[in-house]
Amino acid sequence: MPLLSNKVAIITGASSGIGRAAAKLFAIEGARLVICARGAEQLDQLAAEIREEGGEAVVVAGDVVQQKTHEACVAAANDAFGSVDIAFNNAGTVGTMRPLAELTSSEWEDVLKTNLTAAFLGAKAQVPAMLKGGAGSLIFTSSFVGNSVGLPGMAAYGAAKAGLMGLVKGLTADYGAQGIRANALLPGGTATAMAGSPEQREWAAALHAMKRIAQPDEIARAALFLASDMSSFVTGSALWADGGNAAVKG
């Protein structure tokens, strides 16, 4: 039986990279999807591909820094499928990269809004819907940056991604007894648009014990574990999917 049979999942940042790979995989595993990102055209294409392969997907185009986007995703899930069982809060941005003292306040705030505040807004909308069903799995895409290592020019990004760990623990304390699980997924370098140039990807690969960066579908499979009942006793945790990056830091 598919791992996500009869489950309804919201995926943000679904138009590309890890989010797109997760949407395709979750659909294959039986989930009915609400896919969200800013790019409507890319979402429509993804939804068409999922439907062609026998899956179900509804599109919500919007910016995750706005509460109304998350409310629209929950409403779409309830209207189309009747519940919200899984939320993969995956959307994020690296933002402006420069030493911390050279960042403007607006650059700092933009990174925190997209990576951390958006996660709060997502959970705020998703948790009540999950409580109605008596269970749910919240997944947040964090990073090795800010949790196992700091990288030059990425203080804002690292602070936001580290903040997700506090969010996960707080959600676990608040809702664990009510059947809601919350976990963070910590990818290493991944071959997405955020990975930069071939030279930057080669540099990033050297940070990992496996001496390569991940493909998006490899991270999607880790997200699938957290979304499914295979991780039924896993909550408040950090799942490292980083090719051994954190393990080899001195």
Active site residues: 157
Handedness of CA 113, 114, 117, 118 (dihedral sign): positive
Over its C-alpha atoms, the chain yields an Rg (Å, rounded) of: 17
Cβ–Cβ < 8 Å for 250, 225: no
- Alpha helix stretches (DSSP H) within the chain: 17-28, 40-52, 67-81, 105-112, 118-133, 155-175, 198-205, 216-227
Cα gap 238→210, rounded to integer Å = 20
Kindly give, in sequence order, each residue whose CB lies less than 8 Å from that of residue 249, ignoring residues fewer than 6 positions away.
148, 149
| CA atoms of 126 and 76, how far apart (whole Å) | 12
Only one residue has tokens 């949790």, namely 147
Spatial separation of the C-alpha atoms in residues 188 and 173, rounded to whole Å = 27
Buried residues in 60-99 as b, exposed as e (16+ CB within 10 A): bbbebbeeebbbbbbbbbeeebebbbbbbbbbbbbbbbee
